[in-house]
């Protein structure tokens, strides 16, 4: 019980803990599968090879469930300057994608709504010509990059390209990668071949 509570608290507190628990659960299930196969060909098998993996798997899955109840930070902030708003939106964008719920269908609508909120804020700043600093362009490009429309992919590519061309960001791997990824995603959304091979298969709606 103590272990179960401790695992639940850790999973609730740290996003990545849930992925670790899923990995441990997968290993435990693999051990259980091997034990089952061995049991078929042997008349006797120590019960611990069945009982222990089941207990570990149960504890891990309980921890993952506990992590699903961890509240997310608000998607955007309305106070602060442009840089603070975009940096915060980028942070929550990345944090959302480091949670198990981002990959579960039951949370799909909620996660899409959070993306939409961030996109609306970034688009408003873009239309008002308020995005001028290189890192602001990078943050905004990442948000546009996670949209579903070709027109937004085009904006993402323009912003990412401008950020990547600045001398102080020439050696920033993520900035340089985004410039390539946004171009590829834009091209694929238009039904054209990608250039840098950064995109897996995905569906988009073209305006």
What is the total count of domains within the chain? Answer: 2
Confidence band, pLDDT 50/70/90 cuts, at residue 13: confident
pLDDT at residue 134 tops 50 = yes
Whether the Cβ atoms of residue 143 and residue 89 lie closer than 8 Å to each other:
yes
Q: Are residues 117 and 169 in the same domain?
A: yes
Q: Once rounded to an integer, what is the mean pLDDT over residues 82-91?
A: 97
* 37-49 pLDDT tens trace: 887 777 677 888 8
In a domain, residue 204? The reply is no
pLDDT at residue 201 tops 60 = no
Give residue 5's pLDDT.
82
Q: Are residues 98 and 180 in the same domain?
A: yes
121 to 19, 72, 125, 135, 144: CA distances (angstroms): 30, 18, 6, 16, 10
Q: Once rounded to an integer, what is the mean pLDDT over residues 40-65?
A: 86
In a domain, residue 166? The reply is yes
pLDDT at residue 185 tops 60 = yes
Q: Are residues 52 and 125 in the same domain?
A: no
Confidence band, pLDDT 50/70/90 cuts, at residue 79: very high
């Amino acid at each position: 019980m103590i272990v179960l509570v401790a695992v639940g608290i850790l999973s609730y507190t740290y996003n990545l803990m849930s992925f670790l628990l899923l990995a441990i659960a997968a290993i435990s299930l693999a051990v259980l599968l091997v034990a089952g196969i061995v049991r078929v060909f042997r008349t006797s098998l120590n019960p611990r090879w069945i009982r222990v993996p089941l207990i570990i798997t149960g504890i891990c899955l309980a921890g993952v469930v506990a992590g699903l109840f961890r509240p997310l930070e608000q998607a955007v902030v309305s106070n602060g300057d442009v840089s603070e708003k975009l940096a915060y939106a980028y942070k929550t964008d990345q944090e959302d994608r480091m949670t198990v719920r981002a990959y579960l269908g039951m949370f799909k609508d909620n996660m899409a709504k959070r993306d939409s909120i961030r996109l609306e804020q970034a688009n408003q700043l873009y239309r008002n010509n308020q995005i001028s600093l290189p890192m602001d362009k990078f943050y905004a490009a990442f948000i546009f990059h996670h949209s579903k429309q070709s027109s937004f992919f085009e904006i993402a590519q323009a912003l990412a390209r401008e950020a990547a061309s600045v001398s102080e960001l020439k050696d920033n791997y993520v900035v340089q990668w985004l410039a390539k990824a946004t171009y590829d995603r834009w091209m694929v959304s238009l039904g054209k071949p990608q250039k840098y091979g950064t995109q897996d298969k995905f569906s988009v709606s073209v305006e």
